[in-house]
Structure 1
């Protein structure tokens, strides 16, 4: 399925000294990402935010159609000029980034916020609540305007699952809202050039609106667009299963979900003393139960401090970049925390290359106990498969296992662990596929042809 790069983190324009220039900054990274083997980018919300109290990451949507084209309603000044850009740049800079990404064979996915809005232009009286609320939106683009009937509670009774942060909560069954959302998605794909969406906070609205977006047919430049979608369904495995079923039982283009249950399991692997590797062979995670709809990840913009994976994070990346699912790499891990390690055997870059060249086919657990885990990807088409060995002990561990590789020499393709790790030896299988595999302390080795 490729490898996805989450091309932002919280407050990244300020942290990287790239305020109003993030799109241009990303464009300088495209060649390296393509060379490393990445196949897609996930961008932050592109629409003009409310920006109340300062510039924001865009999850407080004000104008869906203003991607940095119209003066900010508050008329802030940037270098003495009325502010037009979003915190990330202008619409034309975004379009240029997408064109350049496509030129590097990278898909581009937009973060779509469909649950809530913020920064209304004026208050209105809501006769259901018998009070005034900030729900009158007359954005500078003059497209997808909204009034009190567009937000819950409204004359359109909706069984809305959840609101978010006290922001006005969109009423999706109001035809004005659903039409506005569908037309905006079409515009983002066909006019702006996006290839799909990450749906923010999908627990907050009915799955049918996502299904409606994916039921539609799209074209760009006279050619059909195969739409990608992934939901942020921050929940347990059963809830995510139910959400995926509610979308995909009827969708033309199937939607995936972030594998939050796996992410918490991987945090325990990295940060919890005595974690049993047997847990990695259990179900209850998307990559086991429905791998074709699983987007696996280690950390993202919503985790901070000790909620992040703190220790030995490469163990988690080695896992998601060898197993099934669609792995997503976090920008901050790759660039800011130095885990890319270009040209080295123990970095994310090497694992991305191995994922693209070898990690195909189904998954077979060849051995597992509390301290050692051996998995085989069985291979498909041009991807010959691999053996992945994970060691959770304080010393080197090995095991003789049977694989699907008969009479084959398997070389170490990527490896890492605690301390200075010498290059592991190659291993040769017999006619029945048996071979000896080893991994360094708190480390991993990926073997392949």
Structure 2
């Protein structure tokens, strides 16, 4: 989470959630390396071995996700009605998952300062409208992913008068800012805008598990996007994921990125995946950071690591990586104050980003404003259709063909070729141009 704005005068600094969704797929394989100009030693992490030449290779999940909101979606009320009305469009575009904003009652309209977890009337709409939106997607074969905020919580009327469910002062970590905290020390990073919850308490654990089960059975959610997983020890997230048996789960980890040591950044993501026994995926912030710098600074060489593969988490653990160009924290919002823009992808190069993530491994996530508000709908639909038709999935193989100052090019599974950047490149004979736009092109192999 990063600071975003003051939501409560002089008391609460609203820190935005950051993460995103991944599919629990089976085997992981890829090569390791660094994303900088110089090779970086990868001590402490052993990449998965590549399959032998000629061996059958799983391409993993072919799912594509849509982030179903932006930072200011709550201003369009009821937002659940918007989601329901767009269900057919979402399904026809090829999206398999939709990530919902936090739906519990909260002190902040955006939903990231929750108070009454079991109350689903929020700034986004009523419980009935929420259930109708989920049902509309289900009827079209699309799964709904809840944004789950369990690191922290605010009281119903005061700092820590928790209701729905009721928790006592011992549910607040002892090192929280609140003077009445009586719990154990925090097992993760602190969060100053709300009370840090002590997940070592058995009754807190049971409450959270009951709530997640209720969200599945009563609201109809299929999976979770766990907010700010750095705030709580990984073992608790693994426990919650296993207890509720989601079809899909992802955690948010947004660490600082040194572009000349991208391995360190993605190693932290990989280590967290290991700490939850691979039960939960993570958003690939490494890929986002390297990719947006590469296209913005014309340093496309950064998109090939020292081992010759992709420099993000998709180069090491693609089956557990959720790739994205922007989200509600990093990018712009439609209307209102324009959103947060904490770490935006260069706006005139967004389609280069999508040409990359929609042809590469991982589970790609498309940001709502980019699809519905930026005039990119047709280009995005073409790339999603191409990905599905070619069978590109979370574990597809990447062979980088070029990565220099003015271009990046790669073959994916030997079926798709992609080029981004202003300089020319061609895959050669036997390929058909299938999608193109400003500074990007995608080809498919002729039969």
Whether TM-score is above 0.5 comes out as: yes
Instruction: Provide the TM-score with structure 1 as the length reference.
Output: 0.75
Deviation for aligned residue 1:447: 2.2
1:33 aligns with 2:68: no
1:240/1:257 contact within 8 Å kept: yes
Of the three residues 152, 158, 162, the one matched with 2:173 is 152
Whole-angstrom distance in 2 between the partners of 1:283 and 1:313: 19
Whole-angstrom distance in 1 between the partners of 2:357 and 2:223: 22
1:111 aligns with 2:168: no
In the other structure, the counterpart of 1:436 is none
Of the three residues 244, 251, 274, the one matched with 2:273 is 244
Whole-angstrom distance in 2 between the partners of 1:363 and 1:88: 40
2:300/2:421 contact within 8 Å kept: no
Runs of 4+ in 1 over 4 A off after TM superposition: 280-284
2:359/2:387 contact within 8 Å kept: yes
In the other structure, the counterpart of 1:374 is 409
The Cα RMSD (Å) is 2.1
Q: Specify the SS of the correspondent of 2:282.
A: strand
Whole-angstrom distance in 1 between the partners of 2:222 and 2:157: 32
- The 5-angstrom pairing of residues 85-234 of structure 1 reads 86-122=122-158, 134-138=159-163, 143-153=164-174, 155-216=182-243, 218=245, 227-234=247-254
Deviation for aligned residue 1:284: 4.6
Question: What are the superposed Cα offsets for residues 289-343 of structure 1, whole Å, 9 maximum, x if unpaired?
Answer: 0000000000000114472112311011000000110000000111122221x2x
Whole-angstrom distance in 2 between the partners of 1:88 and 1:260: 27
In the other structure, the counterpart of 1:353 is 385
Q: Specify the SS of the correspondent of 1:95.
A: helix
Q: Specify the SS of the correspondent of 2:408.
A: strand
Whole-angstrom distance in 1 between the partners of 2:120 and 2:97: 20
In the other structure, the counterpart of 2:79 is 22
- The 5-angstrom pairing of residues 396-411 of structure 1 reads 396-398=424-426, 400=428, 409-411=430-432
Of the three residues 70, 78, 102, the one matched with 1:9 is 70
In the other structure, the counterpart of 2:52 is none
1:416/1:445 contact within 8 Å kept: no
In the other structure, the counterpart of 2:397 is 363
Whole-angstrom distance in 2 between the partners of 1:57 and 1:67: 13
1:63 aligns with 2:116: yes
- Provide closer, same or farther for how the CA distance between residues 443 and 160 of structure 1 changes in structure 2, counting only shifts above 3 A: same
1:386 aligns with 2:398: no
Of the three residues 265, 286, 289, the one matched with 2:316 is 289
Whole-angstrom distance in 2 between the partners of 1:33 and 1:162: 36
Deviation for aligned residue 1:213: 1.9
Question: What are the superposed Cα offsets for residues 14-47 of structure 1, whole Å, 9 maximum, x if unpaired?
Answer: 2xxx22x100111111111111111110000000
In the other structure, the counterpart of 1:258 is 283
1:161/1:205 contact within 8 Å kept: yes
- Provide closer, same or farther for how the CA distance between residues 216 and 13 of structure 1 changes in structure 2, counting only shifts above 3 A: closer
- The 5-angstrom pairing of residues 306-325 of structure 1 reads 307-310=343-346, 311-325=348-362
Structure 2 gap segments, 5+ residues each: 1-60, 175-180, 256-264, 331-339
- Provide closer, same or farther for how the CA distance between residues 278 and 4 of structure 1 changes in structure 2, counting only shifts above 3 A: closer
Deviation for aligned residue 1:172: 0.3
Q: Specify the SS of the correspondent of 1:296.
A: strand
- Provide closer, same or farther for how the CA distance between residues 8 and 264 of structure 1 changes in structure 2, counting only shifts above 3 A: same
- Provide closer, same or farther for how the CA distance between residues 364 and 50 of structure 1 changes in structure 2, counting only shifts above 3 A: closer
Whole-angstrom distance in 1 between the partners of 2:301 and 2:362: 22
Deviation for aligned residue 1:445: 2.3
Deviation for aligned residue 1:234: 1.1
Whole-angstrom distance in 1 between the partners of 2:113 and 2:386: 38
Deviation for aligned residue 1:13: 2.8
User: Size of the alignment, in residue pairs?
Assistant: 355
Larger radius of gyration: 1
1:391/1:397 contact within 8 Å kept: no
- The 5-angstrom pairing of residues 418-437 of structure 1 reads none
Whole-angstrom distance in 1 between the partners of 2:422 and 2:287: 17
Q: Specify the SS of the correspondent of 1:32.
A: helix
Higher relative contact order (CA 8 A, sep 6+): 2
Whole-angstrom distance in 2 between the partners of 1:278 and 1:92: 46
In the other structure, the counterpart of 2:443 is 446
Whole-angstrom distance in 2 between the partners of 1:103 and 1:5: 17
In the other structure, the counterpart of 2:304 is 279
Whole-angstrom distance in 2 between the partners of 1:399 and 1:186: 49
Q: Specify the SS of the correspondent of 2:102.
A: coil
